[in-house]
Structure formats: structure tokens, C-alpha cells
Amino acid sequence: MLENIPILSLLLLFPLVGALVTFFVKDQKKAKITALVFSAIPLILSLLMLTEYVQNYGPYQFEETYSWIGSLGIQYMLGVDGISVPMVFLSTLLVFLAIIFSWDIDHRTNQYMALLLVLELGVLGVFMSLDYFLFYIFWEVVLIPMYFLISVWGGPRKSYAAIKFFIYTHIASLVMLLGIFALYFEAGSYNGGNYSFSMEVINSVSPMFGATFQAIVFGALFFGFAVKMPMFPFHTWLPDAHVEAPTAGSVLLAGLLLKMGSYGIIRVAFPALPSGAQDWQWVMVVLAIASIVYGAVMCLAQKDLKKMVAYSSISHMGIVLLGFATFTEIGIAAGVFQMFSHGLITAVLFMMCGIMQHKAGTRNIPRLGGLAAKMPYAAAFMMIGFMASLGLPGMVGFVAEFSVFTATYDAFGWLLLIPVISVAITAAYYIWAMQRVLFGPVTTEIDTAHLHDVNWYEALPLAVLCGFIVLFGMFPQLIMGYITPAIEGIVTLLGVI
């Protein structure tokens, strides 16, 4: 049925058109509805894609290729495999839900909604590009809407946070661009002067690249991706950006933008530079464990609920990298699954932070208390989110983290203890934070008499996300079925099996 429809291009087209249309809708209510419709269409398309995608068949599906800048070997080339399909679904879902969640935005609404759609365009482009140049363009497109989202609708220190985010990630992506150029020229010389940015063309000759070349270029690419993920010690932009960003911005930043970094490692760095990846394996392991520990420890020190969630993101993205660095099929697949699961969970957590700020007027944990009695629904969502995040069995986070740790034990043995213990520490702190915020005596620090429970536009996205958290926790195969076959190729290339 979908054979003749360029489904991937349509996935890009609707957010783009939607952004333009929304921008010119001056009426607030209409702008929201327009944006909602234009984000619903990609969601439907991505659901169609999920059903039409043939698992276990070929590397890329729904491919589209058009020559774009022929003289430089650049093409408009899209395609998805088992790694990108879950990410595309996640992107369309989160943007759709973020737009619903932002229903109470009343300041420059049309611009806000348009920026969310531009962000969707960029993120989807990153997850679907099969050409390094195109990949880079979408990668950069993402920066601009996020910059504005933080700097216009952000908190008190928004200017500082926005420019810091912009500069950090821009420098990182330029270093990555250098790496991509190096790949382009090196691959061209192996292809007899036939220069191309196509991932397939470059990856087909990548095992022949010299060892030194691979090590250097992998370093450049890894730097670019590690800043985006972000890995310790390149993470400092993240807490600032999160604390200042509006809720929908935080949801998409943690849910999608961080995933671009880890997606880049698996889509670009590993296949293009397999031996470089092996040279850097221990650096990746050390940085991953450092991020897990550091993120967890920093969580302990936070009084601001949102900052705590931000640091937990660093910790959880460390688990993704740890999975990748095992170079085993189960480890990498679990890392990808962790990307997906963290996207769902972190969205719930940031939405809860937004609700606390909005309803209670503060996110400061010591000032909150006993809110479960006043806001039972919010409390329920918050508990599901926290439990999922700390890895309660039966929820999506558990499956992902458990598989990563299994693979880590296979690959590195008792080194596993360090991340596992630190995750246990976070779990304790999460429960303590939850206890303080939700249970115990009702706080007197804030005015609790007029505290309302969640509104419909807040409850709906949270309910959908919590539903998916449980669903994919119970049936991880629904997503793993896509991921696992796509990993085989990468693992073979790494030559570890």
C-alpha cells in the first residue's frame, strides 16, 4: 500500500509546511490547533511506517534517493532501518504530546508552536538521513529552534543558558563536520576518485581505512556526539539548558536531542570507523561509567527537581554509551532500546517538573511535601515516572538497563559493579525525593489550599506516555524486534563476533 508513497519525505514535509502555516496564524487557539494537526499527521505516518516496516529484511527500507549537489557527491537520501524506526516513532510521538502539553502557552503562541515543528523536522531528518552531508544539515537545523525555545520562553537565566547551549553544541558539530570531511576524502581516494557523502558508499570501504586515520577521525566524531549526548566532562551545558528551558523544550531536548548524539555514534562513527571504535573502546567505557556515576552523584546534591532529572539524564545516557561500548549485539541493541525508553521516561519526568512549577510555584524539593493528598493524579504519574526511571521491573527502563548490564558483565566482568552501585544510589535518592514531595505532612511553605490537580492537556500526554512505559516494559519485543536485526550488521563490521 505504501510502496509508491515517499513516506519519509512526507514525514519531513508536514512539519515543515506546518511550521510555516502555524507561524502565520495569529490567533492563539487556531495556532495551537494547526500545530496539533500538523504534528498528528507525522505521528500517523510513523505508525503506518511501524506496521509496514518488514523486520529482518535488508538494511534500509523506504529508501529515497535524489541527486542534490552532484558535483560534490551529495544526495538527498533517506531511509530507515531497525535503529531509526523506533527513534522516528519516538520523535513524532513526543512532539505531538509536547504540543498538547503546551496548551497553556499564551505568549507568542504561533512562534512557539512553529519552532516545535521545525525541531521535529530537524530531528526526523537526522534519524532518516543516509547521506552524511544531509545528516549534518539536519543536525544543525535542530539547534536554531531549540535556541529560541530556551531564550524566549525560558526561565530567569535563559539568555545565558541558550547561548551556552548554542555555542557548545555548535562547536561540537563543527568538529564532527571536520571528521565527516575526512571520511569523504579518504573514502573518495579508495573509490578511485569517486567522491560521495553517501553513507553506504563510505561505509563500504571503511574497513580499508588506515588505523591511525580511523583513530583520529573517530576521536573527532566521538567528540561531536559526546557533547550532544552529553557525556562527562562535556555535559555542563545540559543542566543549564534544562533548568531554563520551557517544559516542552526540556521534554524534546532530553527525549530527542540527546538521542541524536548516541544515534550518531551508532549510525555514523561505528560503521564508518570500525577499527577506530576499537581503539577508543576503553575511553568510551571510562566516559560512560564516569557519566553514570557523576550523573547519579550530582542527582544526590540537587534541590531543584528539574535539575535532578537533568543530571539523571546524563547518568542514563551513560548507560546507552556503556551498552554501545561492549561491541556486542545484545549490548548495542540494549543501548538503542535504552535510548527509546529514556525518551519516554524522561518526558514524563520533565512534564512532572513543569506541573510542579506551574501548580505549586516551585520545584524546590524541600519546600514541597504531601502533595499526593492534594493532587492524586499528578502523584500517580510521578510515581510511575520515577519508578520507571529507577528501573523497576515490568517497566521499560528495567529491560533496557538490565540488558546493558548483562552485556557489560559479559564484556568487562566485575567492572559492572561501579555502574550498578551508582544506579542503586540514584534509586534510593529517587524514592527519597518522591517521599518528600508526595507523602508526609502537607507542606506549609506554599499555598496548598488552592492547589489543583492536573488539567486535561497535562493528563493526556502523561497517560499516553505511562501507558507506553508499561506496555513496552511488558512486551519489549515490540521494539526490540525492530532493533536487533539491524544491529547484526554493525557488530559484524566491528569484527568482534
Partner 1 sequence: MDYSAIYPELILALFAIAIPAIGMVVKNSKYLAAISLTGIGLSMLAVFLFFYNGTGPIEFDTGLLVLDNFSALFMMIFLCVAFVVVLASGKFIENEKHVPEYYCLVLLATVGMLLVASAQDLFVLYLGIEITSMSSYALVAFRKKDLRGSEAATKYFIFGGFSSAFTLFGISLIYGLTGVTSFTEVGAAVAGLTDMKEMLWVALVMVIVGFGFKVAMVPFHSWAPDVYDGAPTTITAMLAAGSKKMGLVAMFKFFLIALLAIKADWEIVVAVLAILTMTVGNLAALNQTSIKRMLAYSSIAQAGYILIAIAVGTEFALTGGIFHIMTHAFMKGGAFIIVATLATVAIGDRIVEYKGLAKRSAILAFAMTIMLFSLAGIPPLAGFDSKVVLFSSAIYGATDGSEWMIWLAIAGIINSAISLYYYARVVKYMYVDELEEGEKSEKLKLPTSMLAAIIICVVAVIGIGVWPEPFIEFCKDAAAAFF
Residue ranges that bind partner 1, judged by CB under 8 A: 68-72, 133, 136-137, 140-141, 143-144, 147-148, 151-152, 159, 162-163, 166-167, 170-171, 174-175, 177-178, 181-182, 184-185
In whole angstroms, what is the distance from residue 243 CA to residue 227 CA? Answer: 18
Q: Residue 51 or residue 71: which is nearer to partner 1 going by CB?
A: 71
Enumerate residues 6+ apart whose C-beta is below 8 A from 411.
326, 327, 328, 331
Alpha-carbon distances of 259 from 87, 153, 263, rounded to whole Å? 8, 23, 6
Which lies closer to partner 1 via its Cβ, residue 125 or residue 461?
125
CB of 186 to partner 1, least distance (A): 10
Strand partners, 198: 131
d(CA 269, CA 175): 13
In the complex with partner 1, which residue's Cβ is closer, 80 or 182?
Answer: 182
In whole angstroms, how close is the CB of 185 to partner 1 at the nearest point?
A: 6
Distance linking the first and last C-alpha atoms of the chain: 38
Residue 70: CB minimum distance to partner 1, A:
6
Residues 18, 39 contacting (CB under 8 angstroms): yes
Task: Closer to partner 1 by CB, 72 or 417: give it.
Answer: 72
In whole angstroms, how close is the CB of 122 to partner 1 at the nearest point? 10
Q: How far is the CB of 177 from partner 1 (least distance, A)?
A: 7
Query: Quick one: 53 or 218, whose CB is closer to partner 1?
Result: 218
- CB-based contact 12:29 (threshold 8 Å): no
What 8-state DSSP symbol labels residue 364? B
Distance from CA of residue 32 to its chain's centroid?
Answer: 24
User: Cβ closer to partner 1: 160 or 409?
Assistant: 160
Q: Output the smallest distance, CB 363 to partner 1, in A.
A: 23
Give, for 76, the enclosing helix (H) or strand (E).
Answer: strand 74-80
- Quickly list H helices, 53-157: 84-101, 109-128, 132-141, 143-153
Quote the least distance from Cβ 181 to partner 1, whole Å. 5
Give me the half-sphere count of Cα atoms (radius 13 Å) on the Cβ side of residue 239: 19
Q: Which three cell numbers stand for residue 426?
A: 540514584
How distant, in Å, are the alpha carbons of 289, 310, 416, 419 from that of 285?
A: 6, 21, 11, 11
Kindly tell me which of 215 and 373 has the beta carbon lying closer to partner 1: 215
Cell numbers describing residue 423: 544506579
CB of 174 to partner 1, least distance (A): 4
Cβ-based nearer residue to partner 1, 141 or 425 = 141
User: Which residue lies nearer to partner 1 by CB, 141 or 463?
Assistant: 141
User: Residue 209 is placed in which grid cell?
Assistant: 581505512
Write down the least CB distance from residue 240 to partner 1, Å: 16
Contact assessment for residue 153 and residue 145, using Cβ atoms and an 8 Å cutoff: no
